């Protein structure tokens, strides 16, 4: 079990010389969403798993988006595929239904110089398959179960799904049912991250 409050030192050792290029975010923007240690844990997971396409459901102000996109950038050596050629550098599709948060998230991602790795949406993009997913929208078992059902047919084999605040009221375990393996559950006062994979890879 990896506690997210210990993730900073662990990931600095795993990725020497890397940084997460977190922009200056003010007040509630920085307090909302994942905590710094959780963001760096997400960065480390994407660095290790090397997915080509990442889905984030619940952008908020873009703090977790920045960590996910930075990991894709660093996986690609900082290079973006040229226009007209196959995308080989990775992309984050992030969904935020609140227009104000969506706009602020885009600005934060832009200020972090990571906009080349991010598409911000107001609904689920179609015709994509995902190697890594972060769910940070609804926080009840029924809401998480609905998200899991929506993404299930769009997952790459052995994709990893992270549920933020997943330990809060144990809703991630309840939502997972019999279809998912829970492979990580860092325990934190904020609920932490629950990581899961499908028991039968699609």
Q: Is residue 23 part of a domain?
A: no
* Residues 89/79, Cβ–Cβ less than 8 Å: yes
Q: Is residue 27 part of a domain?
A: no
> Residues 30-61: pLDDT tens digits?
445 676 677 888 899 999 999 999 999 999 88
| Cut 0.95: pTM above it | no
Nearest residue to 44 via CA among 71, 19, 20: 71
Q: Is residue 19 part of a domain?
A: no
Rounded CA separation 95/119 (Å): 9
pLDDT at 201: 58
Burial class (CB in 10 A: 0-12, 13-18, 19+), 143: middle
Lowest pLDDT segment from 21-25, 88-92, 197-201: 21-25
Please compute the mean of the pLDDT values over residues 86-111 and round it to a whole number: 87
Q: Is residue 103 part of a domain?
A: yes
Rounded CA separation 171/101 (Å): 25
* Residues 41/49, Cβ–Cβ less than 8 Å: no
Please compute the mean of the pLDDT values over residues 133-154 and round it to a whole number: 88
Q: Is residue 182 part of a domain?
A: yes
Q: Is residue 26 part of a domain?
A: no
Nearest residue to 55 via CA among 5, 96, 23: 96
Q: List Cβ<8 Å contacts ≥24 apart for 173-177.
A: 174/141, 174/145, 175/141, 175/142, 175/144, 175/145, 175/148, 176/148, 177/145
Q: What is the mean pLDDT of the chain?
A: 76
> Residues 53-82: pLDDT tens digits?
999 999 988 989 999 999 999 998 866 654
pLDDT at 196: 86
Q: What percent of the chain has pLDDT over 90?
A: 36
The total domain count for the chain is: 1
Burial class (CB in 10 A: 0-12, 13-18, 19+), 56: buried
pLDDT at 105: 92
CATH number, residue 53: 3.40.50.150
Q: Is residue 149 part of a domain?
A: yes
DSSP SS3 for 94: strand
Q: Is residue 134 part of a domain?
A: yes
pLDDT bin (cut points 50, 70, 90) of residue 186 is low
Rounded CA separation 72/66 (Å): 10
Instruction: Note down the domain range covering 92.
Output: 4-13+36-80+87-198
């Amino acid at each position: 079990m990896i506690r997210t409050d210990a993730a900073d030192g662990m990931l600095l050792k795993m990725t020497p010389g890397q940084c997460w290029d977190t922009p200056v975010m003010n007040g509630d923007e920085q307090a909302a969403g994942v905590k710094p240690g959780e963001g760096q844990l997400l960065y480390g997971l994407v660095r290790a798993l090397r997915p080509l396409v990442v889905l984030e459901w619940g952008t908020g102000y873009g703090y977790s988006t920045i960590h996910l996109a930075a990991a894709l950038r660093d996986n690609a050596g900082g290079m973006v595929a040229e226009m007209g050629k196959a995308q080989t550098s990775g992309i984050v599709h992030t969904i935020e239904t609140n227009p104000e948060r969506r706009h602020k998230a885009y600005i934060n991602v832009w200020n972090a110089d990571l906009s080349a790795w991010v598409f911000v949406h107001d609904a689920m993009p179609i015709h994509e398959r995902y190697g890594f997913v972060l769910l940070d929208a609804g926080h009840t078992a029924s809401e998480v179960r609905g998200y899991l059902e929506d993404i299930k047919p769009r997952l790459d084999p052995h994709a990893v799904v992270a549920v933020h605040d997943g330990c809060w009221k144990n809703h991630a375990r309840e939502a997972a049912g019999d279809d998912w393996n829970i492979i990580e559950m860092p325990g934190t006062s904020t609920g932490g991250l629950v990581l899961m994979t499908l028991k039968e890879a699609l």
